[in-house]
Structure 1
């Protein structure tokens, strides 16, 4: 232990809202502000202690524009001295904010930072911040939609439609079990939402997992990208809304504030691959972060691998060879949804609580990213006794 250890004091998130669901009526800047406010309130922290709010958000336009990190901090009522920045590393944007926060603390440049993320995919359409690709880019690389990359992965790793659908069904079953057992209760902060009739209510759990999903139902879904393909809406992540926030401090600062750390950031890593296949960088990112941490696959107690598509996680499993029971034990984005900018910090919140629930020591989170990148982070639960 050192005074510059980057420790995670707490992590909270909203429930995740489905496509045209209960969170669709909430502005993303206000939803982000809500989790910031709840994180500070839950930890009885004077917001003046926060040096920066690092907000992951992918489609930074419209209500998610104008530097939503700063806007959310102001809406939350934080002092004007508290700064905010918006980060876009696409799907791993808020896992990136966690990494950046940890780097600043470990370097001794910051002491108290909030790493957060938000995305309202209902209110701000994915890709609406982009335009035509540069001809110079297209001369050098083949750029295709992520779904086509998911198809390439399924073919290269010889994954069948049945395997993809089985993985997806299991994701829903795990998530339903987690909901029934209250495994998400400690990370979710209830938020006032609206039902389909326009009636407001306090939303306390994710509305994305499907208890009625079956292999037969999944088999009826048509391929989404290629007429003879394997990737469908059923074995892909869901369009969704949500926000999450993680309080990261130095070990010394946590002590001065009387806060008890829940986990330590051990190592972070980035990896890049060909932007055509795009979604396989989680494989080298996992290998790199383990090497940096001087740990092995066998040392990990939990893996959170973002379920952008079932083929992505199954290809990763074939290459990395983890214990499959340790992978996404409470379901993943196929069942829980993937509010792009929020998913990284959501994964961290879930992983910390699962480590505490099971008594595990190490957790590894990794997320694939559009145009061929990945982020990986290893955390260690505090208070682990060998």
Structure 2
């Protein structure tokens, strides 16, 4: 029986908006990740059956089938194909699901899954180009003029009774944990070496509740959501080398983890951000595991209420929820975040001998991916 294993996972440091990575074309960010994977693992790029690459705003600098552009920018053989996936914020996580499914089905022996987003060069919302993505049939169904994730985050906060203090406290924790992880060298082995940037750029050391409390709310003057308790707009890319356990053995590779369970779920598109809750439950049900079996959770910090609501429903221990901080501290390059989180997760599992890890993230339209990884002993 074929399986799907992660042999290696790498990422660029995450650059802040208009920061150190803004001058790099997203095709070249992709190429840096692909090149690093080949160099670290000694494979011939010609053996790669497909590059499955996440990207949300596929316009402008990201319009030309950015996965294929990255293959060419890396100097890989023209025989290496690529495709681009858009499941909104979960695009790169979905790329992993597709690559794993292809490996298990026998369509691939070797696949690279990951994603990229340069939000400095291709601002969020660029793909709309003056159009309206929602027809009256959808808007009328929900009685809305449109869908807004920030308003959704406010709805989550109200539904779960979250105070401004609670969401700001969580946000300060994200910075604290990220700073501790950086100082401990937790990310060193996963980062692509770059002249432009050597460490995640968005971290604001010394973030305090007092500083966060002084920020104005962004979507509702009586609400709780501010720039300080939301994910940062940023640039970055990540990729994972995926194959079967047998093929890895043939190549002399020692896998990091096996892709144990991969599921999808969807929920109310107006509140939008609650999908990780049913997705996690579905993954646990399908895997036969319980919350207590999972030693680390990556729940994307799109807004602080997202992991807080998830935690309230799933009763996960605080010390295993986003133990390295998250997107509030370092940013959320939309199409790359799924692979960035999985890179962080799989290396954390290896470094701390954690058998099972679970990753989930909210996505526009109320959708969510959930993936359970199992450490390969």
TM-score range (shorter-chain normalised) is over 0.9
- 1:115 aligned to 101, 113, 116, which one? 113
Is 1:95 equivalent to 2:89 in the alignment? Answer: no
Secondary structure, aligned partner of 1:304: strand
Q: Cα deviation per residue 1:310-343 (whole Å; 9 max; x = unaligned)?
A: 0011000000101111001010100021011111
CA drift of 1:33 comes to: 1.1
CA drift of 1:165 comes to: 0.1
CA drift of 1:192 comes to: 2.5
- 1:272 aligned to 262, 266, 271, which one? 266
Q: Cα deviation per residue 1:104-163 (whole Å; 9 max; x = unaligned)?
A: 111222110000110000000111102213222212233321000000000000000000
Is 1:182 equivalent to 2:185 in the alignment? Answer: yes
CA drift of 1:183 comes to: 0.3
- 1:73 aligned to 66, 71, 81, which one? 71
Q: Distance in 2 between matches of 1:35 and 1:267?
A: 25
CA drift of 1:229 comes to: 1.1
Secondary structure, aligned partner of 1:224: coil
Q: Distance in 1 between matches of 2:68 and 2:61?
A: 13
- The runs of at least 4 consecutive aligned structure 1 residues that moved more than 2 Å come to 141-144
CA drift of 1:256 comes to: 2.0
Q: Distance in 2 between matches of 1:60 and 1:192?
A: 27
Q: Distance in 2 between matches of 1:292 and 1:40?
A: 34
Q: Map residues 10-159 of structure 1 onto 2, 5 A cutoff.
A: 10-130=8-128, 131-132=131-132, 133-141=134-142, 142=144, 143-159=146-162
- 2:275 aligned to 273, 281, 289, which one? 281
CA contact (8 A) 2:230 2:328 kept: yes
CA contact (8 A) 1:280 1:372 kept: yes
Q: Distance in 2 between matches of 1:75 and 1:256?
A: 29
Q: Map residues 301-340 of structure 1 onto 2, 5 A cutoff.
A: 301-340=295-334
Structure 1 stretch displaced more, 27-36 or 150-159 = 27-36
- What is the aligned partner in structure 1 of residue 244 from structure 2? 250
- What is the aligned partner in structure 2 of residue 198 from structure 1? none
Q: Distance in 2 between matches of 1:171 and 1:326?
A: 13
* TM-score normalized with structure 2 length: 0.97
Q: Distance in 2 between matches of 1:367 and 1:10?
A: 21
Q: Distance in 1 between matches of 2:255 and 2:201?
A: 30
Q: Please give the root-mean-square deviation of Cα atoms over the aligned residues, in Å.
A: 0.9
* TM-score normalized with structure 1 length: 0.95
- What is the aligned partner in structure 2 of residue 374 from structure 1? 368
Q: Which runs of 5+ in 2 are unaligned?
A: none
Q: Distance in 2 between matches of 1:106 and 1:274?
A: 32
Q: Distance in 2 between matches of 1:144 and 1:125?
A: 18
Aligned residues: 372
- What is the aligned partner in structure 2 of residue 358 from structure 1? 352
CA contact (8 A) 1:190 1:205 kept: no
Q: Distance in 2 between matches of 1:223 and 1:361?
A: 40
Secondary structure, aligned partner of 1:230: coil
